[in-house]
Structure 1
Amino acid sequence: MKKILLACGSGICTSTAVNKKVEEMLNSKGFAGQFEITQCKVSEAPAKSANYDFLIATTMAPAGLKCPYVNGIPYLTGVGVDAAEQEIVRLMNE
């Protein structure tokens, strides 16, 4: 079971939208039931990151992370989504 931390500025708005997109993408690629996504504020991410396999954030990577970072901004802009998805799938397969 992969533990994914998903962060945005407030931990509510954009992370909820990205959560649905990431969940649908992972399920469509055969990862259903193999992951758990937890949303948080980006300010909480460094402290929580040690307990997660990777972080997807709709902000720049915060300092002090203890896990790999995936840029979640493409899920908001629609630009670069393929690269973000490839990185997420790569991390899921590790």
Structure 2
Amino acid sequence: MKKYTVLVACGAGIATSTVVCDRVENLLKDNHVNAEVVQCKISEVSSRQESADLIVSTTILPTTYNIPAEIATAYITGIGMDKLDQRILGHLKS
């Protein structure tokens, strides 16, 4: 079974990414997706993308990356969380 790597990024890599990181970890565990969730700063994503499969960001992405990216505003606002869950799972199960 493939092990995925998901980068969860925010501006400082501390506050909002902690909330999103917990949500993504639980989502993947509940759906039996073998993945490591790595919390980082948005400024670190470019250098980490080659070893990752997906970016989940709590902030606007400053550039385009070589891997899929999702903005996690839904996890902060509580609006549209189910749709975001499905998009994240879709990236990792395809």
TM-score, normalisation: structure 1: 0.89
Structure 1 unpaired stretches of 5+: none
TM-score, normalisation: structure 2: 0.89
Partner SS state of residue 67, structure 1? coil
Correspondence for 2:7: 5
Are 2:51 and 1:51 equivalent residues in the alignment?
yes
Matches of 2:65 and 2:32, distance apart in 1: 28
Structure 2 unpaired stretches of 5+: none
The alpha carbon displacement at 1:61 in A equals 2.2
Correspondence for 2:28: 26
The alpha carbon displacement at 1:89 in A equals 0.7
**Residues 24 and 37, structure 2, Cα contact 8 Å, conserved in 1:** no
The number of equivalent residue pairs is 92
Correspondence for 1:91: 91
**Residues 8 and 14, structure 1, Cα contact 8 Å, conserved in 2:** yes
